[in-house]
A and B are shown apart, each in its own frame.
Chain A
């Protein structure tokens, strides 16, 4: 590995592909934060892989100059897990939206938390399906009636990403705001340096289908408690439940054995073939 010069610039990590995102989309801030986080760690672009599924935010790999894979809807974590298992030497980042990660990919989210592979998952949560033109997502409030698909609301309790990650066994859980890309960049660095599965829910407004989220910049604030981050799951659960979902910061950090492949004494195929002899 050839570390980059000390003054590595975030631009080194940006591609020349123009994002499909609408003006004012929170995801621009997340893209900036990712490239800043990589620059501050001086990671050579070829040592990083950014994996995604489908949705507005899942377009992010092509906008970077690291190795990327834009896979299918909901399966980004599985794609990333396979890559990390096969290539433990790479820094694997997985990114996507709330529909991709918590609805169609919800099962993979639970099991990625449990498995505790050394990778970082960034979910850009705008509480809406943007790419399919504004349907309710798992994090949408039950009384949101702006979608023609659910004209009287979903009547379903919103998915609580941090609390569910905690219950499923994630060892690094944080919440951030796309409007604060520097803070987010620092958080991504912490997450990447955490040994094990790290999860960041980024509140990332959708100005097109959820224009009221423009007000998030006035609502979102850091967790007002000194207790966080904690390694006590009960305490973390308490603060997750008390919060309205708009407080940011690292919530939970736990040191737990990281998933690793068993390193056995290597044998040749001929040795394996011997078991079939009479």
Chain B
């Protein structure tokens, strides 16, 4: 197991529950039902997913954490583990840290408790979930577990029953009745155990709360931003976003094409956007690698596109089902030639809505390619969130109107943006080109045209006012943490913990990775004499990128780890407190 320095001082009031079992055992189903039931009871929560490569029979874990305020990361340790079986446990056991205070309820039919679990000091309790389920008509072990967890955590059984009936409605009355009987049996067992691990409940009504996954949030942000065409090729862990979008694009007057490959997908969205329709593709690392030439075409031809990359472990096929932040370099530097473009990243599951909506706005306003970096951790996590406020980005592409005199598609302008004629506009036809061109779009190999168009494409991005959205900044301490993406949640929690110990730390979580707002970043760093860079990579890509762009204090450290093990608040707290002791 990974041995990591941990500082758990003042861990927030939360409850972490892990459900593990072979793929097909239904752990994700139970996890979703638990999250929903807890949300209806008034708790906030987050469910992450850890899965193996197999569709059936591989390992699978639903990792839940509940609290009385929105949860944006996993906790340091798990309070409760429900294990149906231990198949391939070695592949995910690192992701479920335990202490002597933890409870492990395991089905003895699922095999012996593996050494790392048994040796953790956690309290073990065999529960014959499969046997119990077999005694009930249409019984399933995962529903026994649902009842068990509900009674241990104090969830209202009436809410559980209602949610289960609704979600199993399509499977018929027998299935619902069987599940109900299993939940009651599980709850009875739970009550007999004398284990109480209550789920924290938040104040206030739940009417304005949502449950949403990162993949759904990205899709919703795209729709809100005005995307009405998407093309994509199936890839883990991004396919769910395409599947969510396909029917909803059709319902909002748009369409989605399943392309023959990623090369086609990116070129299809360039074609659609050339036709005047805001367009997007969704992929993961290997797909992004295939798309880079097409993204360069969007930059050169000044065609707005949005590319969402749901990062996973790399290189090559890597770890398709687990998270990493290692596509930062390819997103920043992947294109050949000099192709200024925008790279953004959401800082939480719920922020994916805002960030993608903003990405569409930036692409359309700047007539360039915008890459959004999500990752498996965020994309496949489901979060209970307060209903996000509507943001009023009016997607505005500067278009040329019929009757324009001496139209030049790539005319040099003060802000670098030139009016785009949409096919169908009389008298303004032009040829968009990936070849270097003059202001009219006519191919040119001349040094003057090349320099002018390079300057034009760069000026669009460097002169744009990105406003306050470039980063999330909190606090004023002399210590600053620089981070991005899915690391942000754990960093925020660590900062709150050290604040309770009297150490003020400021957070700078970048939403706009490129172009980097160096002036604003320098301002945000003013007065900070110690900086900690936190990222989920092996080679410290983010740290090196920041080093190349801004002067960081001499006392700058980097907490970096490759996937799939997310950085925990306790580890970040330990790092922050190291010099304060």
A-side residues, CB < 8 A to B, are: 2, 17, 44-47, 49, 51, 59, 61-62, 65-72, 74-75, 77-87, 89-90, 107-108, 110-111, 261-262, 264-269, 272-273, 276-278
Contacts and interface: CB of A to CB of B under 8 A. Distances in A.
Nearest to B402: A46
B7 interface: no
Nearest to B39: A278
A79 B267 contact: yes
Contacts of A74: 263
Interface string B262-300: 011101111111111101000000000000011011000
A273 B217 CA distance: 10
A10 to B, nearest CB: 16
B433 interface: yes
B25 to A, nearest CB: 26
A78 B268 contact: yes
Interface stretch (B91-99, B420-428, B470-478): B420-428
Nearest to A277: B210
Interface string B242-255: 00000110111101
Contact of B224 (A59, A108, A269): A269
Contacts of B251: 264-267, 272
B433 A82 contact: no
Given A75-B263, A81-B271, A85-B229, A276 B252 contact: no
Contacts of B272: 82-83, 85-87
A264 B228 CA distance: 14
A79 B271 contact: yes
A272 B220 contact: yes
B276 A108 contact: no
A221 to B, nearest CB: 35
Interface of B is mostly: mixed
Q: Top 4 A-B pairs ranked by shortest CB distance?
A: A82-B271, A82-B268, A68-B431, A86-B272
Contacts of A108: 260, 263-264
B220 A46 contact: no
B271 A78 contact: yes
Nearest to B269: A82
A49 B432 CA distance: 11
B202 interface: no
Nearest to B209: A278
Contact of A70 (B229, B276, B434): B434
A261 B429 contact: no
B333 to A, nearest CB: 19
Nearest to A90: B423
A262 B431 CA distance: 30
Contact of B423 (A49, A75, A272): A49
Nearest to A111: B260
A278 B206 contact: yes
Given A71-B270, A78-B268, A107-B260, A87 B424 contact: yes
A66 B429 contact: yes
* Contact count band on B: 35 or more
B402 to A, nearest CB: 8
A86 B229 contact: yes
A77 B261 CA distance: 13
A228 B345 CA distance: 57
A51 B271 contact: yes
Contacts of A77: 264
A51 B303 CA distance: 15
A78 B427 contact: no
Contact of A62 (B39, B210, B442): B442
A216 B216 CA distance: 58
A4 B282 CA distance: 41
Given A46-B424, A67-B423, A68-B432, A81 B257 contact: yes
Output the residue of B220, B231, B272, B442 with the most chain A CB within 10 A: B272
B35 to A, nearest CB: 10
A264 B250 contact: yes
B210 A278 contact: yes
Contact of B250 (A46, A47, A49, A262): A262
Contact of A82 (B270, B424, B431): B270
A75 B294 contact: yes
23 contacts: A46-B426, A49-B423, A51-B271, A61-B431, A62-B443, A69-B274, A72-B293, A75-B267, A82-B231, A82-B257, A82-B267, A82-B268, A82-B271, A82-B272, A82-B279, A86-B255, A86-B277, A87-B424, A108-B260, A264-B250, A266-B253, A276-B216, A277-B210
B286 to A, nearest CB: 16
Interface string B429-444: 1111111000001110
B297 A89 contact: no
B295 to A, nearest CB: 10
A46 B275 CA distance: 12
Given A78-B259, A82-B279, A272-B251, A72 B267 contact: yes
Contacts of A85: 229, 255, 257, 268, 272
A81 B271 CA distance: 7
A272 B294 contact: no
Contacts of A278: 36, 39-40, 206-207, 209-211
A259 to B, nearest CB: 9
Contacts of A262: 250, 255
B427 A46 contact: yes
A69 B210 contact: no
A90 B212 CA distance: 38
Contacts of A49: 275, 423
